[in-house]
Amino acid sequence: MKVLFFGMLKDIAGRAEDCLDMEDGATLGGVFDHYGNRYPRLREMAGSILLARNQEFAGPATQVVDGDEIAFLPPVSGGSDSLLEISENGNFFALTWHPIVPRKIADRLLRAEDGAVVTFEGVVRNNTNGRPTHFLDYECYEPMALNLLARIGREIAAAYAIDRIALVHRLGRMLIGETSVAVIVTAAHRRAAFEAALEGIDRIKRVVPIWKKEHFADGEVWVEGEWDRNAAVAQSMAQSG
């Protein structure tokens, strides 16, 4: 099976990808134990690492078989030149390596009956706790991240009295002042649009497998966030440690 490592876990394992043969009846927990024994730092981080099987979060008891794609995912921190996107029911979800232009996205969502457009932009700041930042690098588990963006958007659209929603995250290198993520909501009334936009960015930061590395004058570091502990899978993975 193919095993993928992301963010700081890629540095710990010294590789982005590995191939692994397991006996019949093997589980995700067994896969984790295999690499935890090889790389003790992974085991130390067991309470904050999630695993995915074939682009879906899964618990340690999940069985694995030949041909599966397993991903080790570090806490979210909130390679291609093409745009990865899903468009459905007027909503728009995307990953891009190019600058995000929120006004262009809003124009795509707006309809004549809309009375409100709420746009949230996350931008790259020039410091972290006073330590000057030069630039950021973002990477993600692309197919899973895109599918989760779309799932979050669908759930928000169903839960709030909004018209349309867009969730867009940029990948690759970003300079100070550039937009890394945008949540745009159109609605008849402002309150629902504000509430939906806030939930959108909060959920992106908690559950979408996107990681950032901050580059400073005196070094670099993967930013450690935290998985959503309200998710049953996150709880089971933490307990497995």
- Give the residue among 238, 30, 228, 201 at the shortest CA–CA distance from 120: 201
> Residue 234 and residue 125: Cα distance in Å, rounded?
30
Integer angstrom CA distances of residue 170 from 45, 155, 222, 230: 27, 22, 17, 26
What confidence score (pLDDT) does residue 237 get?
42
pLDDT in tens, 75-102: 766 544 446 899 999 999 999 988 999 9
> Residue 109 and residue 99: Cα distance in Å, rounded?
18
Q: Is the pLDDT of residue 111 over 90?
A: yes
Q: Specify the pTM.
A: 0.73
Q: Is the pLDDT of residue 144 over 80?
A: yes
> Residue 172 and residue 144: Cα distance in Å, rounded?
17
What confidence score (pLDDT) does residue 228 get?
61
> Residue 42 and residue 45: Cα distance in Å, rounded?
5
Q: Is the pLDDT of residue 6 over 80?
A: yes
> Residue 200 and residue 149: Cα distance in Å, rounded?
9
Q: Is the pLDDT of residue 188 over 60?
A: yes
> Residue 200 and residue 182: Cα distance in Å, rounded?
9
φ, ψ of residue 66 in degrees (nearest 5): -55, 140
- pLDDT class for 47, splitting at 50, 70, 90? confident
Mean residue pLDDT of the chain comes to 89
Q: Is the pLDDT of residue 235 over 50?
A: no
What confidence score (pLDDT) does residue 156 get?
98
The answer to whether 52 and 186 have CB atoms below 8 angstroms apart is no
